Amino acid sequence: MPFAADLHIHSCYSRATARDLNLENLHYWAQLKGLTVVGTGDFTHPAWFAEIREKLEPAEPGLFKLKPELAAPIDAQVPESCKGEVRFILSAEISNIYKKNDATRKNHNVILMPDLDKVGKFNEKLDSIGNIKSDGRPILGLDAKILLEYMLEFDPDGLFIPAHIWTPWFSLLGSKSGFDSIEECFEDLSPFIYALETGLSSDPPMNWRVSDLDGRTLVSNSDAHSPSKLAREANLFGTELSFPAMSRALRTGEDFLGTIEFFPEEGKYHLDGHRKCNVCLMPPESLANGCLCPVCGKPLTLGVLHRVEALADRGEGQLPERRHPFYSLVPLVDILSNILSVGPNSKKVKTAYDETLKAVGPELYIIKDATPEELEKSPLPLLAEAVSRMRAGNIVLKGGFDGEYGTVAVFDAQEREGLLGQQALFNIPKPKKKAQSTKKKPIENEPAAEQAGLFDAPEEIEEPTSEEEVSSENDLEPKEFLSRAVQNQTPKERPAPKPFALNAVQESAVNHEGAPLLIKAGPGTGKTRTLTHRIARLVEKSGAAPESILAITFTNQAARAMAHRLEDMLDENGGKVFVATFHAFCLTLLRELAEAEGRAISVLGEKDRLFYIKKALKESGIKKIKPELASLHISLAKQQMASPSSAEFTDLENKAGAMQEAYAAYQTMISGLGLLDFDDLMYKAVRAIEADSLYRESLQKRFPHVCVDEFQDVNHVQYRLLRQLCPPEADLTVIGDPDQAIYGFRGSDVGFFNRFGEDYPQARVIELSTNYRSTETVLKVAGQVMGDPGQDFGLHSGIVGADQIMIIDTPTSAAESEAIVHIMESMVGGVSHFSLDSGRTDMDAGSEDWSFGDFAVLFRTRIQLPPLTEALDRSGIPYQVVDKKRLVDHPGVEELLSYIRLINQTGTDLDLLRIMNFPKRGIGDKTIETLRTWGESQGKSLIEALEVARRLPLPGLSNSQQIKLHSVWKTITEARKKILDLPLPEALEHLMYTIPLEPLYTRSGNGRTASACILDMAQDFDGDLGRFCDMVNLASDADTLEPEADRVSLMTMHAAKGLEFRGVFVTGCEDGLIPYFREGKESDPEEELRLFYVALTRAQRRLWLTYAKRRRMFGKVISQQPSPFLTRIKEEMKDLKKPFKRKKKPAPIQMGLFGE
């Protein structure tokens, strides 16, 4: 039996939706409307998905129904004339905002899936990419094609339907941010797009004019934001009731019986126009005006009719071979509203609606199928006549434009009065204006039942806005503020010159021969490019063996980037160049030495290091030193190449004896276990080289060519390593910028940059001064911060941009965050129709293509982070939090590494302790202590004691305790049998899923799960499990960002080093934050100034500096003053702005068809 389905709806967890939009009300209203199948909507939202799991149960294959105990009391309230079966189909809409082919794209996509478990895994993937918790329709900075790939990966039976494909701002083919074809968006995956949602501002005949859409089923849905709006548009199926049958109909068109449609003129974007000037035009009129507003001269918003005309390759009336019937109808409440001449939400209309359903049947039956005789049963005299006119298309329409709803009416006032015979019967007042008549004519060669009114309700249906969507503390007036914050910052720009060829100074650095070379390279001057070209020249022109070149960087990310560049330039030879961080290089040397001696080594994580320091302090009886303090002193000592007994040992707390004793005890302990901590990698490598002249000479012969990046950040031990590897006449190239030396707090010393000429007297110095990143304005501001007023700072780009940078003065940190979000929304062009309609985004501001990934928000300390993330969460803007935190610090990673080491038989007692109850096994501390004590009495390690405990009864342990201990051994040994012969990625995946290690699947600050980061690292790793553990120990968060996501980056100013972004916000420009100062803590004002300079020079095109007058820090609200660094910027370079109060606006509502 044919049935109706509404597949695209929302839940109460979506923005601007009704609070009663829950499964119970959907079940109720589906029956009133005459729907058999309704989408759940929003299955990506964790809370809503939990409700779906809790309240629904499986029905037919791939469909679900409300549990009987929930459905029964609801069914009792449904009129007998409307009762029917209701099924749910798992559905969600996702907003993709991303950059593709140098243009910002914004499109919405509906996904249907038949399996709850697969939806759960799909959601986990999306959660690793963006924020799916803040909105039922999440915004992801993800290419729609990649989203489709993910859906097919998790469930090939799923359906991916581009939503309301013609909407100007948020659709596949929209004029503002869409594509010109399906293939342009989805490329080789286009064949997997089986259906397209036409949207409320178009109908099937409009879509038939575009042959690119042929062969795909055109569907229509309500996009309902409240239960009563269900079935405004719907789909008709002639299949059995199941997901596979419905999917087959949508894929092939067979047994798909057509769609129920609005009249498209009623949609918000049907015609062209400019709402601010109240200008509405037909497409030919727009073209005659150059698509500009005849009143203000700004670009018109080109409607769906215009966009269809632009892409059409068929004339009106030409029909595709595959097409389906459609029925243009008006919702019953709007018909009743017109008859009664009152608003659609009035009590009169509600009463008439309820009585009509009781008398005749569900709404879709009334407006589509009921006979005149059946309609006469309604208590409303004109209903039969109104429905008859509507079905014939004999109505009055006025088209919507630029976000302004259109109107449709069945009767005008005179007709209504004449048909009723007496106006007073229904208290019908005379309308103030008569609607413009554009009566619809039947479409030629189509049955009358298939006529489609040009129809469409808003693609973004705006319901009353919830209070959480607006900043409660400091609302901003968007219009003037944003126009100044964005428009004044959007001059005609000359783009950055692309450095495809090296400039003359770079060439001289690349071709230099015969002596050490110091390259001073300011920000954006092509530092890495120059260094990689120099390495390539050594191989190609000088005949150097690639294996003889050592290139040292400071991060794994930089090392990988350099290695990839060299592979592109040198093919297979590029992979032979030794590219590594200082620590990774030294680890290689130490491992080579250990293997030659038949020893094994392993690298401690930071938590393991602290564990052994605590143990050493305890066993040495040292009580007056905190482990954290001891850790700091030991680290500093190793950076200074000081042994525990060395006179060079520096003791900041004047407790030299005790600290040296702690250092010695700790070092003896970890050395005995074959363990190295992070600082040992450099310390022991340099000691080994200095102690053996033959070994030193062998390394100098092995690496006669050494290149060092970020030289300004070297510390004592790193510089000492370079001195050992490179004698004064060596081919040593170092490159860096002393103005970007920002790591003094961890031992780096910019003095080595200046000392280089003394230790390498033959060195040549070359300075790179052409910047390829930033506008002249950004460079001038940065130069003023670092230099004396009026001084020519030396960096120039020739990139034309805004004449000033914006400095934003806000009352609080919450207001600061809201101001940033407002600017981003406007630069991107809005993130939803709410952004546009509420005034958060000025539709006339900024015509450039900006996406979320273009922005970075920098802060001095993480205490500034909460208001920023809260504001971004409220807006739904996707973001990632980036810092230099090590990957191993993510929950679950250390446990994974411990399992790997134990499986690889290189684990320690600490590894065993860590996984005893991970996952939980109920092994108590007393059980572990009993096992340890027995092991020590027998001269056995904890691991050896566990091996015995699995076979023999031990004193002090019950049978149940030993069974639990045996389960640990069993997990390790069974995993060893299964994974040791597998490729590394498969071995890790098997281990992570079978143990299981749940914390690995939680999202970190950068938006990725630790499991995804680890598996990505394993893909390209060539080595054993032990070496992989060491690599993970050295990895940082910044090395493991999600490559496919387009998100705002939030990071500390330190973490931003080496990165660049099109637009940069430097937040918290306040005294005490920039420069940073805390009472009782040492501060280096010069380094703080350099750090500010680094932050400024991350910006390519836009730079905003923000500060707040009050900020919550350290548990209290503190009054703040602007940073003294701001005074270094000349006044003519500043555009000072203050946000101001937003005028309270009435909540937007989802309008009825007729208006009032």
217 is in an annotated binding site: no
CA 585 – CA 774 distance, rounded (Å): 33
Decide: 173 and 166 in contact? Cβ < 8 Å: yes
527 is in an annotated binding site: yes
CA 679 – CA 583 distance, rounded (Å): 8
Pick from 1083, 1061, 1064, 1056: nearest CA to 1072: 1083
Q: Token match 């407790």: residue?
A: 655
Decide: 831 and 872 in contact? Cβ < 8 Å: no
Element (H, E) at 423: none
Q: What does the block give as tokens for 844?
A: 């006339």
1097 is in an annotated binding site: no
- The 10 Å CB-count burial string (b at 16+, else e) for 440-473 is beebeebeeebbbbbbbbbbbbbbbbeeebbbee
- The 10 Å CB-count burial string (b at 16+, else e) for 399-426 is bbbbbbbbbbbbbebeebbeebeeeeeb
522 is in an annotated binding site: yes
Question: Quick check: bond before 362 cis, omega within 30?
Answer: no
Q: Report CA 738 to chain centroid distance, whole Å.
A: 34
Angle between helices 627-639 and 606-619 (to 10 degrees): 110
1072 is in an annotated binding site: no
Task: Break the chain down into helix, strand, coil percent, rounded to 5.
Answer: 45, 15, 40
CA 306 – CA 271 distance, rounded (Å): 7
CA 37 – CA 48 distance, rounded (Å): 18
978 is in an annotated binding site: no
386 is in an annotated binding site: no
The DSSP line for 215-234 is TSEEE----BSSGGGTTSSE
1023 is in an annotated binding site: no
CA 1058 – CA 524 distance, rounded (Å): 9
Element (H, E) at 699: helix 693-702
Q: What does the block give as tokens for 280?
A: 């509405």
- In sequence order, the β-bridge partners of residue 256 are 237
Q: What does the block give as tokens for 526?
A: 């092509």
Element (H, E) at 383: helix 383-392
- In sequence order, the β-bridge partners of residue 94 are 109
What is the signed CA dihedral for 579, 585, 591, 597, rounded to 10 degrees? 110
CA 483 – CA 480 distance, rounded (Å): 5
Pick from 1066, 1020, 1023, 1024: nearest CA to 1039: 1020
As annotated, the binding site for ATP includes: 521-528
As annotated, the binding site includes: 521-528
